[in-house]
Amino acid sequence: MPTTASASVLFVCIHNAGRSQMAAGFLRHLAGDRVEVRSAGSMPGDRINPSAVAAMAELGIDISDQQPKVLTADAVQASDYVITMGCGDACPYFPGKKYLDWKLDDPAGQGVEAVRPIRDAIERLVEGLIAEIDAEQQDN
């Protein structure tokens, strides 16, 4: 029997090259197909931050095949959770969505050593998000 995603999550940061890509990588890795994962940026960069790719690879998570994507109202509307990371007011608001703002340093221009603590903070936040999604599913 096919598994359907219990929720969909959109991670948004400015360039969609570091924080949101690491968060999406963790959620895909930890939740599998239980959660539909999207990421986007208000001003997407040209490529994924190589330090973010390297930091995730250290944990066995490959995000090297991802590309920055532009934030669209459709992506927000199609998501149950919208997690912002420093994109300010660029994210459109739709009633009925759960919005969370994660305060994280921007890994842009940083080396792997500076990205590791950001990566680790994202991992903890994603684990908490999965627990919240699972608890909500049990309540329904």
Dihedral angle of Cα 106, 108, 112, 113, to the nearest 10 degrees: -50
Q: What pTM, to 2 d.p., does this model score?
A: 0.92
Rounded Cα–Cα distance for residues 70 and 41 (Å): 5
b/e burial code for range 15-24 (CB count within 10 A of at least 16 → b): bbbbbbbbbb
pLDDT for 50 equals 97
pLDDT for 87 equals 65
pLDDT for 2 equals 41
**79 included as an active-site residue:** no
pLDDT for 42 equals 87
Query: Which listed residue (24, 82, 87, 133) is catalytic?
Result: 87
Residue 88 region by backbone torsions, left for phi larger than 0, else alpha for psi between -120 and 50, else beta: left
**13 included as an active-site residue:** yes
Give the neighbor-by-neighbor strand order of the sheet with 7-13: 35-41, 7-13, 81-85, 98-101
Query: Which listed residue (12, 13, 82, 125) is catalytic?
Result: 13
pLDDT for 1 equals 36
**52 included as an active-site residue:** no
pLDDT for 94 equals 76
Q: Which residues, given as ranges, of the chain have pLDDT below 50?
A: 1-2
Name the DSSP class of 23: H
9 contacts 35 by C-beta, under 8 angstroms: yes
pLDDT for 71 equals 92
Query: Which listed residue (22, 75, 91, 130) is catalytic?
Result: 91
Tell me which residue has tokens 């919005």.
99
Strands (E), the chain: 7-13, 35-41, 81-85, 98-101
